[in-house]
Structures are given as structure tokens and as C-alpha cells.
């Protein structure tokens, strides 16, 4: 979903370590990418990211994001 949403050229699922940070030194995403991901996650999964602090934790890595979405989905968003 991240690769498609952000149109990351030359990036494959296999090439992404799910434990590295999504921003800066990890995958190298920026604040615009974060906004695009928030919109996509809310639309695709019907999960709300309440505020910036929650977002920082959720977007720490792909694993953190997956756990956040699973938890919110189980809680009923």
C-alpha cells in the first residue's frame, strides 16, 4: 500500500525492511508522504489517526503501522 500510494519508483516490498523507520534515515519519507499515507489509511482501512503524537508512534516503522491498523480495526476504529 505504501509503495502504491506514494508512487515510490524503484522500491519493492522485498527491498523494505519492515523494522526501519519510515522517515528520514529509514525509508526516507517526508511530511507530505505522511499526509498522503494518513489519508490513504483512513480511506482504505476506515481507521482514524487521532493526532500527531499517535501518528508518530504509528508511523515509526511498517511493523508499527501494521500493528496500529490491526489494533484500531479490532477496536472498531
Residue pair 72/66 in contact by the 8 Å Cβ criterion: no
pLDDT in tens, 39-71: 999 999 999 898 889 999 999 999 999 999 999
pLDDT of 77 above 60: no
CA distance 46 to 27: 25
Q: Enumerate the domain spans of the chain.
A: 2-74
Residue pair 73/13 in contact by the 8 Å Cβ criterion: no
- Read off the pLDDT band of 27 (50, 70, 90): confident
Whether 32 shows a pLDDT value over 70: the answer reads yes
What is the CATH code for 2-74?
1.10.1200
Mean of per-residue pLDDT scores for the chain: 90
72: enclosing H helix or E strand? helix 62-74
Higher pLDDT, 74 or 17: 17
pLDDT recorded at residue 30: 92
Amino acid at each position: 500500500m505504501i509503495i502504491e500510494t506514494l508512487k515510490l519508483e524503484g522500491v519493492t516490498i522485498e527491498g523494505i525492511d519492515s523494522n526501519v523507520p519510515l522517515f528520514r534515515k529509514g525509508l526516507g519519507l517526508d511530511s507530505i508522504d505522511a499526509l498522503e499515507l494518513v489519508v490513504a489509511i483512513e480511506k482504505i482501512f476506515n481507521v482514524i489517526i487521532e493526532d500527531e503524537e499517535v501518528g508518530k508512534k504509528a508511523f515509526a516503522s511498517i511493523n508499527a503501522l501494521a500493528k496500529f491498523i490491526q489494533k484500531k480495526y479490532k477496536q472498531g476504529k
